[in-house]
């Protein structure tokens, strides 16, 4: 079982550990210390070694900060975690609404004077600048060793996960070709790459240093001549010399600082993610630009897209087996955890599952309204008759990463909820069948997912879609379908399409397919040079019992019926006869 | 008749006048001279005195530039004018596609070295910076007198149009109240206001210095104490002292430079529109910020909105009389100019028309595909049987500015064109009936106007909507419904909603209503704090003969039929029995 249902932190130690941290600060003459959730790689998941925020405060969310001053201390969490933080974090920490209040602004207004210290590996250059811009009179910033590591006696060791090759049959482009095009596109003589999924993509490797994201921790220096130095302990990459090839030189991580200092000419870094420690070390002229792998990685090649299609058929069959099993259970007989366990079991039964792609969200009734709900032994509740069950889950397969949400009727559901479900579905269909001119960004697509809800004064407080990696991170940029999505969509990008609606204390609805941007074939009267559309990747029935067909347009009904016919045709042959019989019912036209 | 159909410029003089300009440059040791279309006020229309671009080159479009160098000269025009420029401008001028090639970039790449001169009243600070950023080695910029004014012997005098008061019954907010809220919102001790429509709005006055836009030329210095100096010749504002009140001091325009130089503390200017000459004169610290009247002027108060409704009923009745007359003429018996004349006649017959709000676009058949077509004696053609006629027009009334486009079937029209008309209509309806959360900008609305066209690979190469003034400019910022529309929409803003489709050499379609942003009443399941929607202002039938009802959704058909029922109810009582009978037919449900 990948997923666990126990909480690894509690408020009990908060007070003692904060005291220890303040002692360490005091002995160094420091007025404050910054504790971000992030590790040096700025990703969504961190290794146990890097769970400093959780160790200090008890807070286990996937984003946040803590700041310790001598007289005050605070934990910063976003809207997803405002309930959870109250039970996890001790009274000694103030709870601050973030990002409404930024960490720099809180520090500036804290009244503290003196030196605020931080670990330069854990702040990006942009984050440091955010502090420098607003610090108050009498406050200054200083790099320091990580004081949590100093006081954390049984801190786990850094991960040493093994690295494996992602074969060319799945990656679709050789390392040499990637090195050629990325090095040629550099804006400087060399580039430091610090994002693990960029490194994994560039070198056709996958790692196991953290859960859920199959990436290795390491750093890269890429020269404009295409020569690459990979800073990663040799014990993590046994026998990969042939795979990596002659252009790639494996270097000991402890040489990174020395080698960075030796770089001459111009050196490119991405200020959004590059640790301050690396920028500090560079003596060459720094050129700031986006990580050069970011966009090429987001634009999947035809092999990666083919892999995604295969992974989604496999994952769709597992989902259909899960849904048919779920329907066969008496209403009220299951808990949210039972649901998670059975679903992971169905994915494991494919014999191809490398990991789940994130912690499955299984929210029954009112828990469905908690957008990033993660069930634990404490929160677990039965899935009752008459409720909706929201299940958001995904798998990591070697040929692709999946992410799907279905909201399922348990028994007879309130017609009000079914009406809301249908409005959400209308938005999901609007995005699915949109054609649009090349050059538009996710921001231009996002409103179509919401218009049917807006007509009723309803909306959801999250983006419509995020980028998805190819057996990489399930959340990947730079593209997204959201008000903040300013990057033009390009053929080959994979995105989620997941509108929702949440009624606090009552129910939650989300319907999510993955979609891939593709060129739309030209039409007879076309006057636009290049049109794009979305290919649907996810093939799993949408619960007909929650659909109010009268409020669908003819076009929406056609889309739904043809989607279900295709689900039936693609997935039916992949499941046993019981599940196939269930599927046939689930795919009937509305 | 406001509109004229003769062209006032031709290519015949281009060569001689360019030679004269080059002589003037040479005698001053100048390598080049910049000739923008704009006057010191950066508006869409200029007075005959300021028609320097047209006098020099022959080009009569409403936007553009010329640059004269000793060996080369160029005219810069945008997509609207690329056909027209060929017949209007002599061979001695290169024709440059603008803004694809920017004027600064062309100058930088021209090969010229030496001093490029410009009139500092005609370039804004932002425009100057655009040149400074890219100038090539050996090139420099220098302020100079206007060399066109030096060589243009029979240059008309600057306008001295009379200024009248806009009564409080129509303006809805007193000058004192406006001065209080604008002066309190300044980011500096004083502000220089250079936009004529901002000044007209702030002081509840209207002018007659240029055609189509009822604004006076002048400048304002507003203090943060609410005291205002208006630089305008006293002969233009006879008897308005009481109207303007004690806070407003009328100053001779020739004192402006002296007074600007005397300002101390911090002085606010808008770099997008403030002439370089004003920035040069200021010795105080300059604070750059958007014109403080821009947003308040765009957000109409309830009196202005009530005026707009009245103006649109009056204008709608004139349009209905025009359309019923048009339908009664034998197909092929009219020319485009006949159409313009009759329409202006119907508006004049209201006895309330102060001006047309822009040159009426009357394009039959293929001329309809020229987005900013302006009929002249030379281009005039019959409106033939089987063609569509696109008529885009508007009136300036003291209570409001109108702008409406209707595309009309003349005889039996090709079903392909009717299908395209219906797709355009679907987009126009989508915007009309949209509800959306407060905070969205025009960019977020724009895609709804295009989605039905996109589904067929079709689109239009202009924005969907522009802001409209209150008896002011028919094109007004900062809001717009377009990919460049980044300003959040606010209740009270008036916008056009005018999707279109153009098939070059064949036909043009555009359907335009004006709409006003309003708060949407709360709905039972609403979970969004504040929703907005659009109130329709324009009440004129949309040609039923061009609608293919089968491709409308039920919701779209409902909108159309209810719109037509309201047109019938509102306009029927305002027209004579013949027009009323026509209207009843035109408003039948589809």
Coil, helix or strand at residue A306: helix
CA angle B400, B402, B405 (to 5 degrees): 170
SS3 sequence of A215-231 = CCCCEEEEECCCCEEEE
Strands (E), B276-414: 285-288, 353-356, 361-364, 388-393, 395-397, 400-401, 404-409
| Chain B closest-CA separation from residue A94 CA (Å) | 28
| Chain B closest-CA separation from residue A41 CA (Å) | 33
Token pair for residue B508? 């043009």
Look at B444 and A523 and tell me if their CB atoms are within 8 Å.
no
Report the alpha-carbon distance of residue B27 to residue B95 in Å, rounded: 27
Residues of A in contact with B454 (CB under 8 A): 434-437, 528, 531
Q: Is residue B478 within 8 Å of B531, Cβ to Cβ?
A: no
Report the alpha-carbon distance of residue B380 to residue B335 in Å, rounded: 7
Residues of A in contact with B531 (CB under 8 A): 454, 457
Residue A274 or residue B13, greater confidence: A274
pLDDT recorded at residue B12:
82
| Chain A closest-CA separation from residue B412 CA (Å) | 21
Mean pLDDT of chain A: 96
Pairing status of strand A73-77 against strand A94-97: parallel
Instruction: Mark out the alpha helices in B433-483 (DSSP H runs).
Output: 442-454
Instruction: Mark out the alpha helices in A75-124 (DSSP H runs).
Output: 84-88, 103-108
Query: Running DSSP on this structure, what letter comes out for residue B586?
Result: H
Look at B527 and A555 and tell me if their CB atoms are within 8 Å.
no
Q: Which of B360, B320, B318 is nearest to B339 (CA)?
A: B360
- Closest CB to B459: pick one of A437, A445, A503: A437
Look at B528 and A447 and tell me if their CB atoms are within 8 Å.
no
| Chain B closest-CA separation from residue A304 CA (Å) | 28
Residues of B in contact with A558 (CB under 8 A): none
Residues of B in contact with A420 (CB under 8 A): 525
Strand order in the sheet with A139-143: A94-97, A73-77, A65-69, A32-36, A114-118, A139-143
Distance of CA B52 to the CA centre of its chain: 20
Best mutation target among A499, A527, A558 (most B Cβ atoms within 10 Å) is: A527
pLDDT recorded at residue B81:
84
- Ordered domains of chain B (ranges, CATH): 11-151 (3.40.350.10), 164-297 (3.40.350.10), 299-580 (3.90.230.10)
Phi-psi region of B457 (alpha: psi -120 to 50; beta: other; left: phi over 0): left
| Chain A closest-CA separation from residue B197 CA (Å) | 32
| Chain B closest-CA separation from residue A458 CA (Å) | 5
Look at A443 and B445 and tell me if their CB atoms are within 8 Å.
no
Give B422's contacts (C-beta < 8 A, 6+ positions apart): B546, B547, B548, B551, B552
Res A340 pLDDT > 70:
yes
Tell the burial category of A31 from Cβ atoms under 10 Å away from its Cβ (0-12, 13-18, 19+): buried
Cα torsion at B407, B410, B413, B419 (round to 10°)? 10
Q: Match 């299984």 to its residue by tokens.
A: A362
Look at A436 and B454 and tell me if their CB atoms are within 8 Å.
yes
Residues of B in contact with A446 (CB under 8 A): 444
- Closest CB to A451: pick one of B434, B455, B553: B434
Which run of H or of E encompasses B503? strand B500-503
CA distances from B399 to A134, A366, B174, B312 (A): 49, 53, 16, 9
Strand order in the sheet with B404-409: B361-364, B388-393, B404-409
Best mutation target among B418, B429, B453, B528 (most A Cβ atoms within 10 Å) is: B528
Strand order in the sheet with B465-467: B435-437, B531-536, B513-519, B494-497, B465-467, B476-481
| Chain B closest-CA separation from residue A275 CA (Å) | 32
Residues of B in contact with A447 (CB under 8 A): 436, 440, 444-445, 447-448
Q: Is residue A217 within 8 Å of A158, Cβ to Cβ?
A: yes
Give A19's contacts (C-beta < 8 A, 6+ positions apart): none
Instruction: Mark out the alpha helices in B102-167 (DSSP H runs).
Output: 103-108, 125-134, 147-151
Look at A444 and B445 and tell me if their CB atoms are within 8 Å.
no
Q: Which of A515, A571, A517 is nearest to A541 (CA)?
A: A571
Distance of CA A557 to the CA centre of its chain: 32
pLDDT recorded at residue A4:
87
pLDDT recorded at residue B439:
97
Query: Running DSSP on this structure, what letter comes out for residue B354?
Result: E
Residues of A in contact with B434 (CB under 8 A): 451, 454
Residues with pLDDT less than 70, chain B: 7-9
What percent of chain A has pLDDT above 90?
Answer: 92
| Chain A closest-CA separation from residue B456 CA (Å) | 6
Tell the burial category of B529 from Cβ atoms under 10 Å away from its Cβ (0-12, 13-18, 19+): exposed
Instruction: Count CA atoms within 13 Å of residue B19 on its CB side.
Output: 5
Q: Which of B175, B195, B72, B71 is nearest to B124 (CA)?
A: B195
Report the alpha-carbon distance of residue A321 to residue B266 in Å, rounded: 71
Which run of H or of E encompasses A428? helix A415-432
Q: Is residue A435 within 8 Å of A533, Cβ to Cβ?
A: yes
Tell the burial category of A102 from Cβ atoms under 10 Å away from its Cβ (0-12, 13-18, 19+): middle
Token pair for residue A585? 């019912």
| Chain B closest-CA separation from residue A523 CA (Å) | 6
Look at B523 and A456 and tell me if their CB atoms are within 8 Å.
yes
Look at B458 and A503 and tell me if their CB atoms are within 8 Å.
no
Residues of B in contact with A507 (CB under 8 A): none
Best mutation target among A415, A435, A457 (most B Cβ atoms within 10 Å) is: A457
Model ipTM?
0.91
- Closest CB to B456: pick one of A416, A454, A523: A523
Over residues A349-373, the pLDDT tens digits come to 999 999 999 999 999 999 999 888 8
Report the alpha-carbon distance of residue A583 to residue A450 in Å, rounded: 29
Q: Match 């046939």 to its residue by tokens.
A: A584
| Chain B closest-CA separation from residue A19 CA (Å) | 42
> Between A and B, how many residue pairs show a Cβ–Cβ distance under 8 A?
91
Look at B437 and A459 and tell me if their CB atoms are within 8 Å.
yes
Look at A444 and B443 and tell me if their CB atoms are within 8 Å.
yes
Look at A416 and B520 and tell me if their CB atoms are within 8 Å.
no
Strands (E), B23-82: 32-36, 65-69, 73-77
Query: Running DSSP on this structure, what letter comes out for residue A386?
Result: T
Give the residue numbers in A contacting B (CB under 8 Å), as ranges. 416, 420, 434-437, 440, 443-448, 451, 454-459, 483, 501, 503, 520, 522-523, 525-528, 531, 553-555
Over residues A181-201, the pLDDT tens digits come to 999 999 999 999 999 999 999
Look at B525 and A448 and tell me if their CB atoms are within 8 Å.
no
Report the alpha-carbon distance of residue B447 to residue B517 in Å, rounded: 17
Closest-approach residue (CA) in chain A for B531: A457
Sign of the dihedral through C-alpha B169, B171, B175, B178: positive
Best mutation target among B418, B445, B446, B447 (most A Cβ atoms within 10 Å) is: B447
Closest-approach residue (CA) in chain B for A529: B457
Look at A458 and B522 and tell me if their CB atoms are within 8 Å.
no
Over residues B411-427, the pLDDT tens digits come to 999 999 999 999 999 99
Residues of A in contact with B457 (CB under 8 A): 435, 520, 522-523, 525-528, 531
Token pair for residue A432? 């699915």
Q: Match 């649109």 to its residue by tokens.
A: B312
Look at B483 and A444 and tell me if their CB atoms are within 8 Å.
yes
Report the alpha-carbon distance of residue A549 to residue A568 in Å, rounded: 20
Q: Which of A110, A137, A136, A107 is nearest to A123 (CA)?
A: A107
pLDDT recorded at residue B339:
98
Indicate the pLDDT class of residue A81, thresholds 50, 70 and 90: confident
Q: Match 């529309």 to its residue by tokens.
A: B485
- Closest CB to B457: pick one of A443, A483, A528: A528
Distance of CA B20 to the CA centre of its chain: 33
Phi-psi region of B418 (alpha: psi -120 to 50; beta: other; left: phi over 0): alpha
Give me the mean pLDDT over the A257-286 stretch: 97
Tell the burial category of A167 from Cβ atoms under 10 Å away from its Cβ (0-12, 13-18, 19+): exposed
Query: Strand pairing partners for B391?
Result: B362, B406
Provide the b/e sequence for A470-502 (b: ≥16 CB within 10 Å): bbbbbbbbbbbbbbebebbbbbbbbbbbbbbbb
Best mutation target among A452, A455, A534 (most B Cβ atoms within 10 Å) is: A455
């Amino acid at each position: 079982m990948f997923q666990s249902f126990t909480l690894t932190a509690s408020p009990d130690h908060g007070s003692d550990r904060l005291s220890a941290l303040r002692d360490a600060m005091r002995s160094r003459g420091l007025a404050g210390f910054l504790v971000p959730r992030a590790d040096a790689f700025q990703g969504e998941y961190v290794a146990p070694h890097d769970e400093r925020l959780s160790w200090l405060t008890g807070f286990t969310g996937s984003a946040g900060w803590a700041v310790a001053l001598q007289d005050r201390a605070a934990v910063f969490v976003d809207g997803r975690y405002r309930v959870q933080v109250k039970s996890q974090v001790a009274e000694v920490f103030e709870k601050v609404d973030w990002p409404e209040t930024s960490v720099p602004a809180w520090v500036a207004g804290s009244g503290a004077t003196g030196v605020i210290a931080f670990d330069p590996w854990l702040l990006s250059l942009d984050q440091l600048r955010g502090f420098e811009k607003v610090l108050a009179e009498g406050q200054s910033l200083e790099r320091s060793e990580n004081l949590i590591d100093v006081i954390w006696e049984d801190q786990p060791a850094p991960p040493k996960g093994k690295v494996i090759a992602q074969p060319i049959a799945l990656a679709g482009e050789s390392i040499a070709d990637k090195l050629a095009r990325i090095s040629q596109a550099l804006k400087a003589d060399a580039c430091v790459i610090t994002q693990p999924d960029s490194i994994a993509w560039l070198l056709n490797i996958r790692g196991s240093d953290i859960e859920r994201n199959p990436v290795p921790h390491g750093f890269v220096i890429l020269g404009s001549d295409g020569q690459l130095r990979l800073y990663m302990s040799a014990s993590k990459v046994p026998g990969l010399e042939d795979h990596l090839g002659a252009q790639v030189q494996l270097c000991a991580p402890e040489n990174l600082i020395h080698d960075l200092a030796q770089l001459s000419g111009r050196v490119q870094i991405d200020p959004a993610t590059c640790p301050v420690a690396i920028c500090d070390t560079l003596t060459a002229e720094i050129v700031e630009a986006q990580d050069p792998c970011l966009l090429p990685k987001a634009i999947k090649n035809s092999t990666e897209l083919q892999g995604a299609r295969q992974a989604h058929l496999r994952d769709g069959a597992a989902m259909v087996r899960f849904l048919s099993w779920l329907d066969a259970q008496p209403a009220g007989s299951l808990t949210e955890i039972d649901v998670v366990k059975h679903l992971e079991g169905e994915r494991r039964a494919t014999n191809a599952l490398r990991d789940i792609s994130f912690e499955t969200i299984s929210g029954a009734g009112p828990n469905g309204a908690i957008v990033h709900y993660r069930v634990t032994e404490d929160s677990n509740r039965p899935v009752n008759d008459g409720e909706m069950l929201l299940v958001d889950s995904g798998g990591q397969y070697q040929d692709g990463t999946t992410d799907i949400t279905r909201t399922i009727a348990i028994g007879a559901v309130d017609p009000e909820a079914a009406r809301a479900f249908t409005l959400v579905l209308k938005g999901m269909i609007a995005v699915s069948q949109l054609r649009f001119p090349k050059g538009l960004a996710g921001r231009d697509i996002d409103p179509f997912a919401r218009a049917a809800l807006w007509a009723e004064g309803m909306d959801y407080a999250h983006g419509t879609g995020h980028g998805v990696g190819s057996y990489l991170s399930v959340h990947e940029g730079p593209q997204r379908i959201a008000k903040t999505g300013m990057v033009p969509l390009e053929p080959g990008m994979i995105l989620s399409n997941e509108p929702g609606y949440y009624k606090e204390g009552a129910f939650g609805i989300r319907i999510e397919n993955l979609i891939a941007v593709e060129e739309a074939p030209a039409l007879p009267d076309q006057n636009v040079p290049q049109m794009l559309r979305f290919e649907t990747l996810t093939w799993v029935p949408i619960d007909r019992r929650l659909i109010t067909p009268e409020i669908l347009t003819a076009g929406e009904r056609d889309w739904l019926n043809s989607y279900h016919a295709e689900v039936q045709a693609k997935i039916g042959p992949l499941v046993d006869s019981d599940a196939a019989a269930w599927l046939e019912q689930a795919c009937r036209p509305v």
